[in-house]
Amino acid sequence: MRIWGISALSHDAAIAVVEEDRAVFAAHAERYSRLKNDRYLNQDIIDDALQFGEPDVIVWYERPLIKKSRQLWAGQYAFAMDLDDLPRRYLRRFRIPGRYKFEIVGHHMSHAASGFYPSGFDEACVITVDAIGEWDCMAVGTFTREGYRSLRKTRYPNSIGLLYSAFTRRCGFKPNEDEYIVMGLASFGTPRYVDAIYDDLIERRDGDYRLKRNVHRGIGDWLPEASPEDLAASIQVVTEEILVDIARWARRVSGLGNLVLMGGVALNCVANSRIARESGFDDFFIMPNPGDAGSSLGAAAAYVGLPLRWDGPYLGTRIDRPYRHREILDALVGGEVVGVANGRAEFGPRALGNRSVLSDPRGPDIQEKVNKIKGREPFRPFAPAILVERAHEYFDLPVQRSPYMQFVAPCRRPDLFPAISHVDGTSRVQTVSRSENPDFYALIEQFSERTGCPMLLNTSLNRKGEPLANSWDDAVGFAAATGVRVF
Ligand SMILES: [Fe+2]
């Protein structure tokens, strides 16, 4: 039995393929079309998925008619009346051979299943928080041997994700895309408007919240004198406080020790870290692709209804070339910034070693140098990829492992590693293990043996505004545009 999960037509279209109970393929449409956050599928990603065979079942990640009922209620008539985006009709545009059965799973169930089934947990509490799917914006439930049980739901327009997106727009950025910039900006500001946000916009309740007004279309020029930095710092604190409240409530009510966190809001690694420190849960799992794109895997997993065999996020296009450890290592030790495009592409927004730009993280100049290569602002920090066994020596991590860069941690020596330390002294850490990525692990291990430094600066193989490199051709294009050698 071969099951395709598909998420598309909202933002970040993606396909995942599950063969019996194993995740064998998962990728984003944008990597093929080269259009960032592409909401549409394309024949190239479908052809890549077809390398694993024709689908027996295609599972769509949300219920389109329920979504349309919410769009009608919200006055989004153009979306609600557009029948070309009904999934079955939409899929007829593509060449998908074979006779497949078509199924649908609810939006938040897709989120929850994409987190729980690959988690390796026997049972877990699952919190899913996003901007909006059908009607639900937040859901808390448990997965146990008896299946899924819902504990709490919050419906549109009560969305903490929409509130964060409204602040993203208020700060001058693009909602639904640039939330990570607001999270980064928050450390440059003072959270002086936290009380004002609670007074005007959102009410905290025990493990829940209510918006005081509908913020779907933004908050206009709320507090016109306030600086973007202070607004960002304030909404970040409010978001963290509300998420910690929800997680503590979930811990108390569920009685379970494992937490799975999913939905687009779980991309907020600063909030994730507070939840890890303050919620009382013992262990955490966030699938490396917690947003709607990851729900392609969740839709398929929910249909299967069994724990997934999951070897990590390296599930996309394969670049089949020998891993040139020696040359990469010599270049890195010699102070060169290098690209690596090898093996299967990462499923999720982060480059985790297979489509990465790497360098020695030490020294005062490296941050500006790599930002220049990537066309980003000179102050933007990078992430460290560190041998998992050495991570706690260098970072005060709130979790044992952070294999997908989903948690931030104070760096114990930010003076030595300014390129990977944010202005507040924290880093978004990737812990690298031999089992998940043996080539990348061996490279960092050898770098450590040669230099004494058990980590590398790791950033995505793309320039600002582009999707991550997918194919070897994309990697060659990056090398030509930047002068960086790609191996
Ligand atoms: Fe979602």
Domains of the chain (ranges, CATH numbers): 2-105 (3.30.420.40), 111-290 (3.30.420.40), 321-486 (3.90.870.20)
Q: Average pLDDT over the chain, rounded to whole?
A: 95
pLDDT score for 378: 77
Please give the distance, rounded to the nearest whole angstrom, from the Cα atom of residue 257 to the centre of ligand 1: 25
Backbone angles phi, psi at 344, to 5 degrees: -90, 140
The model's pLDDT over 51-70, given as tens digits with 9 standing for 90+, comes to 999 999 999 999 999 998 99
Nearest to 273 by CA among 429, 447, 169, 467: 429
Q: Is 121 helix (H, G, I), strand (E, B) or coil?
A: coil
The DSSP code sequence of 154-170 is EETT--HHHHHHHHHHH
User: Per-residue pLDDT averaged across 348-377, rounded?
Assistant: 94
Please give the distance, rounded to the nearest whole angstrom, from the Cα atom of residue 407 to the centre of ligand 1: 20
User: pLDDT grade, residue 7 (50/70/90)?
Assistant: very high
Confidence check: pLDDT of 314 > 80: yes
User: Per-residue pLDDT averaged across 227-251, rounded?
Assistant: 97
pLDDT score for 350: 96
- Say which residues have a Cβ less than 8 Å from residue 356's Cβ, sequence separation at least 6: 339, 340, 385, 458, 459, 460, 461
Please give the distance, rounded to the nearest whole angstrom, from the Cα atom of residue 389 to the centre of ligand 1: 34
pLDDT score for 206: 84
User: pLDDT grade, residue 376 (50/70/90)?
Assistant: confident
Confidence check: pLDDT of 377 > 90: no
Supply the angle between the helices 325-333 and 438-451 in degrees, to the nearest 10.
40
Please give the distance, rounded to the nearest whole angstrom, from the Cα atom of residue 62 to the centre of ligand 1: 9
Specify the pTM.
0.95
Q: Are 219 and 167 in contact (CB under 8 A)?
A: yes
User: pLDDT grade, residue 422 (50/70/90)?
Assistant: very high
The model's pLDDT over 146-159, given as tens digits with 9 standing for 90+, comes to 899 999 999 999 99
Q: How far apart are CA 348 and CA 310, in angstroms?
A: 14
User: Per-residue pLDDT averaged across 435-455, rounded?
Assistant: 97
Of the chain, the percentage scoring pLDDT greater than 90 comes to 90
The model's pLDDT over 399-410, given as tens digits with 9 standing for 90+, comes to 999 999 999 999
pLDDT score for 16: 98
Q: Is 32 helix (H, G, I), strand (E, B) or coil?
A: helix
Please give the distance, rounded to the nearest whole angstrom, from the Cα atom of residue 11 to the centre of ligand 1: 9
pLDDT score for 84: 81
pLDDT score for 2: 98
Radius of gyration of the chain (CA): 22
The model's pLDDT over 95-120, given as tens digits with 9 standing for 90+, comes to 999 999 999 999 999 999 999 999 99
Please give the distance, rounded to the nearest whole angstrom, from the Cα atom of residue 134 to the centre of ligand 1: 9
User: pLDDT grade, residue 274 (50/70/90)?
Assistant: very high
Please give the distance, rounded to the nearest whole angstrom, from the Cα atom of residue 107 to the centre of ligand 1: 6
Please give the distance, rounded to the nearest whole angstrom, from the Cα atom of residue 199 to the centre of ligand 1: 27
pLDDT score for 105: 97
Confidence check: pLDDT of 307 > 90: yes
Of the chain, the percentage scoring pLDDT greater than 70 comes to 100
pLDDT score for 389: 97
Q: Are 428 and 382 in contact (CB under 8 A)?
A: no
Confidence check: pLDDT of 443 > 80: yes
Please give the distance, rounded to the nearest whole angstrom, from the Cα atom of residue 132 to the centre of ligand 1: 6
Please give the distance, rounded to the nearest whole angstrom, from the Cα atom of residue 318 to the centre of ligand 1: 28
pLDDT score for 355: 98
Percent helix / strand / coil, the chain, rounded to 5: 35, 25, 40
Confidence check: pLDDT of 379 > 80: no
Please give the distance, rounded to the nearest whole angstrom, from the Cα atom of residue 364 to the centre of ligand 1: 39
Please give the distance, rounded to the nearest whole angstrom, from the Cα atom of residue 64 to the centre of ligand 1: 13
